[in-house]
Structure 1
Amino acid sequence: MKKKLASLSFLILSFAASAQDMTTTSKVTSVDKPAYDKWSIELNGGVNKPTRTMTPGYQTATLNPFHADLGVRYMFSPTFGAKLDFGYDKFQERDDTAPFESQIIRTSLQGVINVGRALNFETWTKTIGVLVHGGVGVSQLTSDSGFDGEDYIGHGILGLTGQLRLSNSVALTGDLTGIVNGKQNWNFDGMGQTKTGAFDGVLLNASLGLTFYLGKNEKHADWYAEENDRLDKLEGRVDLIETGLLDTDKDGVADLYDLEPNSITGVAVNTKGQSIDTNQNGVPDELESYLEKTYGQNGKEGATNNTVEELINGGYVNVYFDFNSSKPTNASLSGVDFLVKYLKNNPGKSADIIGYADEIGNSSYNTELSRKRAEAVKNVAINAGIDASRLNVIANGEDTSVNKNSKEARQIVRRVTFKVK
């Protein structure tokens, strides 16, 4: 019977998770919101090498500085995109040739193919990518030592960019680009006119740079794999089903539906996993009935209150913390709730909120950490409606009563406890 119920629950949860995903997908589609960022800015610098159109006796170094490039790219999909870029190259003589100085600036409109996505690089790496880019543009050549005016040139451009992802916002790039000019009238050195025909100078660029990704999504199109995203979502739904079927507090209500996942063991709960507390005094009815029976029926409200106070002051009501954290664990927030309900039912009472830390680390640091933990619990109680004047913070620092080498024991002493008065 239990196996049948478990199977039925699994099917129901699967259906619910699928329905939720379908709803989410529908919402995304309706507003055409992409799952990845599309814009990026590319900044590169490096060297150049002009060839073919050079005047005899004038040459640049094999790796001639200086080249710079600025590009703005938009990806229509994870595989295809376009970019507008601006380039600058400076040409100077090498040591054993005649002196000259000239510059060329250009702008190009290019298409981009993300080879990494097209070839499914994500199956073996999530940090390496390759882009191919190419297109057409116009250039302007000027000379400081040769011809006067400007030489306007059309060009074709083709390049290969390697990518190394540094983060979701930045990638390191290395680029090799070739440019072929058409109808170039003057040589790159500016000292003579071209004689090569329709297709003239060839310019090679090698550069290193950074790509900055723009947008609010987790990933840019350069690193977004639709299949991986689909599998991640499916894995998330499976995790939801697996963890949702757990019953952490063993009250018979799965965590997925449990509004009180830390109810007292053995206490009756409703269908939402909440302890039944008819009079809302912070003590579950089943426990209150036991206390009344144990401590007598006469003045049972006072007897219950006295017993609750004994439980609080006896250290049975605590709030726990993870290592080096001042944020209470979700599972232990019921301790604050227990205190809050008691103080609301007893407006003449106040409480000390006492913080502790384990022995790992510096003693003065741990004292301050214990204070922060107590302050955090105090703030929870204040937000729950308890006046701050009724709450007193005490930083007791390290609790040395347990074996400091025991991970489990250290968890017990990373706590805040209470004393009502």
Structure 2
Amino acid sequence: MKKIILFLSLMLMVTSLVSAQEETEKQVEIDFNRWSIDLNAGLSKPTAPFSPNYYSSNTNFIHGDLGIRYMFNTKFGLKLDLGLDTFKNKSESFEFEGQYYRTNLQGVINLGRLLTFEDWTNTINLQAHTGIGFSYMTNDRFEGNDDMTNFILGLTAQFRLSDRIALNTDFTMINNINQQYTFDGFEDPSVSGNRGFNSTLYNASIGFSIYLGKNEKHADWFVPSKISEELEKLETRVAELETMLNDTDRDGVPDYLDTEPNTITGVAVDTKGRAVDMNNNGVPDEIESYVERVRNEDKSLSNQSVEDMINGGYINVYFNTGSSKPTSSSYGAIQFVTQYLKSNPGSSVEIIGYADEIGQTEYNEKLSAARATFVKDVIIKTGVDASRLVEVAKGEDTSVDPNSADARKLVRRVTFKLK
């Protein structure tokens, strides 16, 4: 029976420590106090071992214990406590008197929260505590101390008086290992053949838990709002959905469905996020149509190579006045250059930014650099190594009439030069 008690005591303590760690990792916000001082006093009753014709009184005064408790969360905690018991004989027994001292480290399980007492009361609670410790006994019949190890197991009922104090009643059983003397002070002859549990002591006490901390309630009585719990669950679900619906390349296809999550913004894609390629030639249709449009605008380009078109300044990215973000029709040019770089991994390119002459020269210098940087960042996001891209800020392009709005449109641009 005592081995079963030992096993249960150890299991309860280990379970409380492991569960406390798990629950603490889940705790997002500290809304309750964690520290308390537990002070109890009451009766003590040793039951074994005793010499023949020696019996302990059923109302031994004094028992007292003082504990410092820390709750990891509302369900599990640890307590370090000190205990003192004095005991003497019954009237029909030979006379004796002894003292028992102990210190223990215990795991605490807040059964009230585990069993949801809050559904029917906010003033009554129940806790279990168990652990191990060191103890010793003194008696006038032997010299020195009788040192031993102890295992402790108890149950505490609580009645909340206020947010700062609770009334406790506790019943505890203590089992000692290798107690050399009987409680009446004689050497125990059974010890030599019994090196396990050979001593039992019971405590019944009443006292107080005094709660410390700046928050309103202690973990013993704190109950998370059910509304808050539901909101937290909803927030988690919304966050998961937001993650699933992220669209890194902004092609209208969520990342979790996008097989090409780095296509350039503005390029037409299918339902799986792939650039549309109706003729399956490996070149997106939008690039082909872009090249075709450029060649139609200038018939002299019909026989020129892709490299000549890029280096000749025919592949341009255009911008609105004062903007560093390309016009929507210009993303085809970026995709065109990106596709070339991916098909020619040994090539690199200068990304050259320009501005028109409207505004201050210093501002236009920065604007041309910002335009080149924006285009570079777009290409990098498609998977092209940044080391293959060189930004060049040319500032104002003075080659056109600054008074012509149509002419200024042509110089608000980024152009490319292959290396």
TM bucket, shorter chain: 0.3 to 0.5
Higher CA-based Rg:
2
- TM-score normalised by length of structure 2: 0.47
- TM-score normalised by length of structure 1: 0.46
